[in-house]
Amino acid sequence: MTLSQALAAKVRLIVWCKSCQHRAEPDIADQVASYGPDVSVIDWAGRLRCSACGERKVDFVVSGGDALEPSPRAGRGGNFPAGGKVRPLPPPI
């Protein structure tokens, strides 16, 4: 998957630093502008650097949208349990 494909699929790229756990969700359109549309997300992630500690070891996950490569850790949205358990029952009459 390239950055332009990720942008077209409307996925989110969640990246985090393996060193300090700093986490970010960069805007993909900005990344396309900076790195080019044909850069694969793997290459892109390899060129990132943590803005908090400067470490280059980052991990990432593709989440949401119509992901071409679904990750077991990434939901597609709408995975909420059915049944409205969080809704309080009406008071008894």
CA 88/CA 93 separation, integer angstroms = 15
| Under rule CB under 5 A, residue 22 binds Zn ion | yes
Tell me: does residue 19 bind Zn ion (CB under 5 A).
yes
CB nearer to Zn ion: give 4 or 19: 19
Binds Zn ion (CB under 5 A): choice among 53, 70, 75, 80: 53
Q: How many CB atoms lie within 10 A of CB 36?
A: 13
Under the criterion CB under 5 A, does residue 50 sit at the interface with Zn ion? yes
Is 52 a binding residue for Zn ion by CB under 5 A? The answer is: yes
**Nearest alpha carbon to residue 15 among 65, 63, 66:** 63
